[in-house]
Amino acid sequence: LIYGVRMSGPEGPALLRTLCSHAHNMARNNPACGVVAADLSPDDPAAAAIPSWRRFSCDEDVWCIKNLSDSNAASSSSDWPASAPPGSVLFVDPREF
């Protein structure tokens, strides 16, 4: 999972493409890795520099988000919220992968 990516400066896109290429090469050498994913909002300028295939991407991906608080520990049905609140930023915890 590539997360927390920021891009700036004239060489930002080239550096980000190089990072993605490095992550891809590491994943190819690891038989346990099945996918390389990047966490970006649709309006993030870094999205233009990250290689993607249109058929595997969409403007508004659906995420399953697990509630990490213990406030509802008695009820297992409340572990998974029905939908995420609207917004342009979504934090993905890499420990879940």
Tell me the pLDDT tens digit for each residue of 44-86: 888 888 877 665 555 555 444 444 445 545 455 554 445 555 5
- For residue 64, the model assigns a pLDDT of 46
Structure confidence at residue 15 as a pLDDT band (50, 70, 90): very high
Q: Is residue 5 part of a domain?
A: no
Whole-model pTM? 0.55
Query: Percentage helix, strand, coil, to 5, in the chain?
Result: 30, 0, 65
Q: Is residue 2 part of a domain?
A: no
**Kind and range of the H or E run holding 35:** none
> 93: helix, coil or strand?
coil
Q: Could you list the residue range(s) of the whole structural domain that residue 41 is in? A: 12-96
- For residue 47, the model assigns a pLDDT of 81
- From the number of C-beta atoms within 10 Å of its C-beta (0-12, 13-18, 19+), residue 72 rates as exposed
Q: Is residue 1 part of a domain?
A: no
Number of structural domains in the chain = 1
Q: Is residue 76 part of a domain?
A: yes
